[in-house]
Amino acid sequence: MSSEGERALRHAVRGRIILRYLGELSLVLGVAAFVPMLAAGFFREFHLMLPYGLVGGFLLALGTLARRVPAPRDLQHNEALVITAAAFVLSSLVMSGPLVAQGIPWIDALFEAISGVTTTGLSTLPSLEGHSRTFLLARAWMQWVGGLGFVVLSLALTLQPGVATRRLGAPGLDPADVVGGMRTHARRILLIYLGLSAFSVVLLLLLGATGFDAIVHTFAGISTGGFAPRDASLASFETALQYGVLGIALVGAVSLPLYSELASGRWRRLRDDVEVRTLLLLIATVAVLLVVSTRVASGLSGVSVSDLALLSISAQSTAGFSTFAVDELPASAKGFVILSMITGGSQGSTAGGIKLFRILLMLRLIQWLVGRTRLPPHAVSGPTLGGERLASDELLRAAALILLFLAVLVVSWLVFLAHGYDALDALFEVASATGTVGLSAGISRPDLEPLLKGVLCVDMLVGRLEIFAILVALSPRTWIGRRAY
């Protein structure tokens, strides 16, 4: 199609559509905000009921008003991306309010809310000791809701023809029916998410966790968020419970639609899934590399092989739990952890990072290009993955996202370097934020420069939204131009 023909088909977003669907999401967020309010009543921390009640009431009122706007059945792709970006930004701003009401400075409250909603787990709070049980539950609950919301929205927004769409359980979906696709997948993923969460709570209770710990660590684990209710994260738990929590995080790092197939008895899908095999292989490899690198450095006392194995699960799943201070790792070990945090988990999971499927696409493309040199010029061939032909636009999207991810990483890193931070520690911190992991090299702290807190906030949002949604929302052409009616 000519460029003139393409321009004729391009449409700017329609404000009423954005308002309508943001309103529908506000209703969901409003109901979610009442959970911490009810928890405050249960824990007899009645002074915290009002802040969360006001947030819930505000969101419900906003959603009720927005639902009066008539909306057509169709939804443009740029509109869906803008709604996604606005939903994460709005929820972060709104949920920072109750944190401010608890005496947390606004910039740290916003940092905490963004870290929660994006399921990152970084924190600039000086300590968790002394905070209410409502606060500790609410921050993990933000991660649970954020993890579910991300998977549902990302599934709906990436439903385009290709291997990725078929892997996410949506073959033959009409790309024009984004709304119908979103609702169908939302119901399916919600049931899977609830089932995995219930299983996780029971598992942790059987392993000896208290009811409060089981619920909080399930919220933070299945969402691969990593908000623990203690400063020591998992260090205060017995080894079996540590593996239980990170086992739950590993479950969250696997594509959630895969579990619906397992529930139908198709267990071979788990064995044949290329992302699952890659995920487990990377965890094992990084664990061995961490053990070797720390033993060679011989400067890390009190850290066992089990601690390092747990760290490899935490980094690759992007959960961010830890059993020791990771800032004490030798340089080589930090490098291996950075690579894990950047690559992340499976597509369609709650994990962050670039996603293993995109990494595999690029590796398969490189392999095909090398092999193509052995074929005659007139030979017809193309890269495949798992026996399926990869479309050129699918490869292009994956390559573009990887390049953008790395560009954000480098720019953020340079800002930290300009402020005089150690190069490796700065790279570790921005990789953790952009990969939505939550492990820290000790840079995220209360006295971190406000500008750098802002950089990490942007990194967390960009990493969770996978960059394209932010770029579309910020593009003037998204808002200015011819509109469909």
**Residue of 470, 476, 407 whose CA lies nearest to 88:** 470
Asked if pLDDT for residue 158 goes beyond 50, the answer is: no
Would you call 418 exposed, middle or buried from its count of C-beta atoms within 10 A (0-12, 13-18, 19+)? exposed
Cα Rg of the chain, angstroms: 22
Can you tell me the mean pLDDT for 115-142?
A: 95
Can you tell me the mean pLDDT for 447-475?
A: 93
Give the DSSP H/E element, type plus range, for residue 417.
Answer: helix 392-418
Identify the residue whose tokens are 């919220």: 219
Looking at residue 290, what is its pLDDT?
95
Rounded percentage of the chain residues whose pLDDT exceeds 90? 59
Would you call 477 exposed, middle or buried from its count of C-beta atoms within 10 A (0-12, 13-18, 19+)? exposed
d(CA 18, CA 162): 27
Asked if pLDDT for residue 62 goes beyond 60, the answer is: yes
**Residue of 468, 233, 222, 270 whose CA lies nearest to 358:** 468
What is the overall mean pLDDT for the chain?
87
- Comparing 121-135, 246-260, 357-371, which segment has the lowest mean pLDDT? 357-371
d(CA 69, CA 272): 46
Looking at residue 20, what is its pLDDT?
85
pLDDT digits (tens, 9 = 90+) for 364-419: 888 888 887 777 776 666 677 766 777 777 888 889 999 999 999 999 999 999 99
Q: What is the pTM of this model?
A: 0.90
318, HSE (Cβ side, Cα atoms, 13 Å): 38
Looking at residue 181, what is its pLDDT?
57
Looking at residue 430, what is its pLDDT?
98
Residue type for position 188: R
Can you tell me the mean pLDDT for 279-297?
A: 93
pLDDT digits (tens, 9 = 90+) for 11-21: 888 888 888 88
Asked if pLDDT for residue 222 goes beyond 80, the answer is: yes
Residue length, the chain?
A: 485
Can you tell me the mean pLDDT for 423-440?
A: 97
Q: Residue 150's pLDDT band (boundaries 50, 70, 90)?
A: low
pLDDT digits (tens, 9 = 90+) for 161-190: 444 444 444 444 444 455 555 566 677 888
Asked if pLDDT for residue 477 goes beyond 80, the answer is: yes
Can you tell me the mean pLDDT for 140-168?
A: 64
- H-only helix segments in 207-355: 211-222, 239-252, 256-263, 268-272, 274-297, 305-317, 331-343
DSSP 448: S
Three-state SS across 39-75?
A: HHHHCCCHHHHHHHHHHHHHHHHHHHHHCCCCCCCCC
**Most confident by average pLDDT, 7-11, 360-364, 416-420:** 416-420
Can you tell me the mean pLDDT for 441-445?
A: 95
Tokens found for residue 254: 């696997």
- Residue 99's SS3 state is helix
Asked if pLDDT for residue 298 goes beyond 70, the answer is: no
d(CA 145, CA 135): 15
Q: Residue 448's pLDDT band (boundaries 50, 70, 90)?
A: very high
